[in-house]
Amino acid sequence: MEKKTIQVALLGLGTVGTGVYKVLQNQREEMLSKLGAEVEIKKILVRNLEKAAKKVEDDAVLTNRWEDIVHDDDISIVIEVMGGMEPARTYIMEALAAGKHVVTANKDLIAVDGKELLDMAGTHHSDLLFEAAVAGGIPIIRPLKQCLAGNHITEVMGIINGTTNFILTKMTEEGMEFEEALALATELGYAEADPTADIEGYDAGRKLAIMASIAFNSRVTFDDVYTEGIAKITAKDIKYAREMGCDIKLLGVARNTDTGIEVRVHPMLIPSAHPLASVKDAFNAVFVHGDAVGDTMFYGSGAGEMPTASAIVGDVFDIARNIRYQCSGRISCTCYKELPIKQIGDIRSRYFLRMQVDDKPGVLASVASVLANNSVSIAQVIQKAKSSEAAEIVVITDSVEERHFNDSLAIFQGMSVIRKISSVIRVYGE
């Protein structure tokens, strides 16, 4: 097979784009040896040519005109690392329509418009790969699509946001409160200036929608995912969890059940012996259960310049190999089913409920009665006396539909003997 040069264009030269540029430049000889073809960056689309010139070896590759890329027939692969919905969506659609292959790390776009983009790729026999859109440097998209294709996957669960995992790790190991841990995460560069997408679970929700769609072969969008963040978690909650042999993690949970797909992101108490409990700081991990393979876990750096660049360049390599062997467009959209999405009220969970109550006889019996009347059974109760004639109780429930548990909470909020509902956190397990 004769030597060939495969030319690529890079859209964006921010943190991730710079990482991709470095890896492609540093790995040129290695990729030539593996592929029998050179991967060459022909164009880089940037806003500020002068600023970008300081980051590249030859500023002749820089352009601020999309037309220089989309109308260049020599460019085979477009790498989108701009982020955001627009103009990224338009550029990707136009690139695919022009018969180019696309690699993207854009989880926001894939979580919302992934099916349309994959359908466009399929129509034009192009590849659209997005390994870096979920969990950074951890390979999870390709395993779900290909390596585990012989399985009926019933569960994907993981820690898929490094910012919140860093915060919860500091709260657990150093006794910090949420705001203090968030400030440290911001100082160290783990949290954005506006951390809302991370701490409210939106970032993890987008990643979960992508993984669930692939794992269950049925379209799941970000709007389908129930999200709840970690801002209400306190050091006291974590202390109770530790006393119970548990850790609190922000988990993305996707399950394929007989009655539909569960997709939710929220804090959860998990046993300290569970593999996910050992995932610390900004690391990510994804736990997958398949009927043939059983339990598997993928672990590593979930974000950052070089881990994300690693995943992107891996996709570039795959596409370049497909071009060399003339087998592009083999795997497009795999969402051939239309499974219903379960509402959060229909999902069964166990619960950790912490309340401040009057310290007098009969209160605990009243709490138990309300729960029982709403089909909620109690697995464990912890009661600690406090000052000012108040006591703190913690109730751990057995598995129950969320709507029934919420009915109990509504009644508690109207009871004079209950001074405050301090925390409600789901608990792992049936």
CA–CA separation, 391 and 355 (whole Å): 8
Handedness of CA 350, 354, 355, 359 (dihedral sign): positive
Q: If we measure between CA atoms, which residue out of 302, 143, 299, 161 comes closest to residue 215?
A: 143
Q: Identity (one letter) of the amino acid at 168?
A: L
Q: Identity (one letter) of the amino acid at 46?
A: V
Point out the catalytic residue in the list 42, 107, 207, 249: 207
Q: Dmax of the chain from CA atoms? A: 86
Sorted by sequence, the CB contacts under 8 Å of residue 214 that are 6+ apart come out as 141, 144, 145, 334
Please state, as a whole number, how many other Cβ atoms lie within 10 Å of the Cβ of residue 326. Answer: 6
Please state, as a whole number, how many other Cβ atoms lie within 10 Å of the Cβ of residue 115. Answer: 16
42 is catalytic: no
Residue 365 exposed, middle or buried by CB count within 10 Å (0-12, 13-18, 19+): exposed
- Cβ atoms of 58 and 117 within 8 Å: the answer is no
* DSSP string over 116-171: HHHHHHHHTT--EE-GGGTTTTS--HHIIIIITTTS-EEEEEEE--HHHHHHHHHH
Active site residues: 207
